[in-house]
Structure 1
Amino acid sequence: MNPQKNIYILAIESSCDDTSAAVLHNNKVLSNVVATQKIHEAYGGVVPELASRAHQQNIVPAVHQALAKANIDKKLVSAIAFTRGPGLLGSLLVGTSFAKSLSIGLEVPLIEVNHMQAHILSHFISDPEMKTPSFPFIALTISGGHTQIVLVRSYFDMEILGETLDDAVGEAYDKSAKILGLPYPGGPLVYKYAQLGNPKAFSFPKPKVKDFNFSFSGLKTSILYFVQRETKNNPEFVKENINDICASIQYTIVGILMDKLEKAVKKTAVNQVAIGGGVSANSAIRAALKERKKTLGWDTYIPKFEYCTDNAAMIGIVGYLKYLEGEFTDQGITAKARYKLTS
């Protein structure tokens, strides 16, 4: 791969409920605009139809703002990178259609990007606050919809070692929050209350799943039964113990993730470990990874918060790397709600 100078990638991300546009100059981020949709809070979760409508409203302003913040003319854009999938089909269609139209209008190449691959490759954004891993390394991708352990041999040679068999880790946080009566989005609230609690106050079972795969549905069920049992004896139990309950839930979830990572590192003999995805913004997970750097000698890589949640900068870095390879797509491309990381 031969780096070239003055490549400008305009990137678009619309996989779920955040509309994002970014401009990269080579591997450096010039702008990274994210328009968050607040409308879903009233419904206790993302409503796909409302999400796609909001993307239609937000995408043009987001792109204009990204170009303005980057301080470049659209005529300088070398290529348009966009999220093809995985994600909500309606949301993806908005981004895909806009990217295709913009590619035609500017007469520049079109580059499709896998959302989960982008979370992993966000570590290759040039940023003085971030370290860049060398190959091979192990990536733990954790988000509202995905939980995977991936062996990364090169930019585009990745192998999924394990993944969730049911709920993703983000869902585990949100569903636990719902059981506790916390409003949406509940995951961040579980983390907030956990900071004030005793992580060993209550014990929840860790699921026994073979190899490097995950399962969180059983944990959710055990939390539900625990809350039902305790509130039967004391209706104020959750209110009186919310900090300790959240701390104990988080302690269990982080333990499940770290146990699988340790197993993967031991099996592969690859001790470079990177995390990515929205849940990687969780400080408890970051702290657990740093602790293993001290105790187990891992080389750990943690992205900046702005590159953890859904954002177009991570789409742009993949677009840049694919541009160097001449890996472009044509106008016949369609969005894919289910889009495997590896074929």
Structure 2
Amino acid sequence: MTRKTVILYNRLAPTLRARLDEHFHVLDFSDTPNLPRDPAFRAALEDAHGVLGASVPLGRAELAHARNLEAISSVSVGVDKYDRDYLVERGIMLCHTPDVLTETTADTAFLLMLAAARRAVELAMRVRNGEWTASVGEADFGVDVHGKRLGIVGMGRIGAAIGRRARFGFNMDVAYHNRSRHAAVEDELGAEWRTLDDLLDWADFVCVTVPLAEATRGLFGAAEFQRMGPETIFINISRGGVVDEPALIAALENHTIRAAGLDVFTTEPLPGDSPLARLANVVALPHIGSATHETRHAMAALAVDNLIEALAGREPPARYSMAD
């Protein structure tokens, strides 16, 4: 029996790669630069039954000639790199990797909250540069995290995990804004649903976890930062596109808000000349939300399982739904 052909563009541990080889004929593009423009990759798409990888845009133009494609297995929870309407139109199954990265990404959110509040990166660089020459004075003080008010925008799996850390670990009051209410989360955390404007007025920390979609693109602009006020710390672990980046830069430069902790940006990698790379009141990370050995292995393992099951005509463990 002829094995189906799959394209791999994500580095896998040897054991996971061996599982793919057991089931499929694998075309490996995991070390190919500028993948969307690579002629061999584009030619391979014409015959592939499945693809497994992340961070490569696959839309109508890229997939128009992929006549045999049955399934895409993304090593990510976010699926904004894919034209989901086109995939539905073509009957191409889309799988992703929710759940396995929830706790790690929530850890990253709290890392950003603590680092931005206590000015950890800024002050650590002074130590490294030999600039710590006297006791820390008021000019170098940060602000507390414990006991403060956390507003979460997007109460999915990750938002709920952040809320648990806040409520039970740091005794924070938690409120949230979401397109639908979550009674279980409200009961567990004592969290209150608020309108977005009300949430921004109320919160000391605003943490964004929404997926990138047309409804959330540019969700945070000048008006939203103005509403937050000069004591608020803004945290974004979702996607850069949910923020009007020039408006955020202006708010930070003008101290319209206190600080920001950012793991995602409109352009990634973040250009070195971006003000977000040099402002003292910004903690900028290189999109490390799920970047631990354990979590990335679990994500890749789930992606392999998804592709094997999908191409065998069975229900995969994590098929993406438009309702997600």
TM-score, normalised on structure 2? 0.30
Looking at both structures, which has the greater relative contact order when contacts are Cα pairs under 8 Å and sequence separation is at least 6? 1
Higher helix share: 1
Higher strand share: 1
TM-score, normalised on structure 1? 0.29
Compare CA radii of gyration and give the structure with the larger one. 2
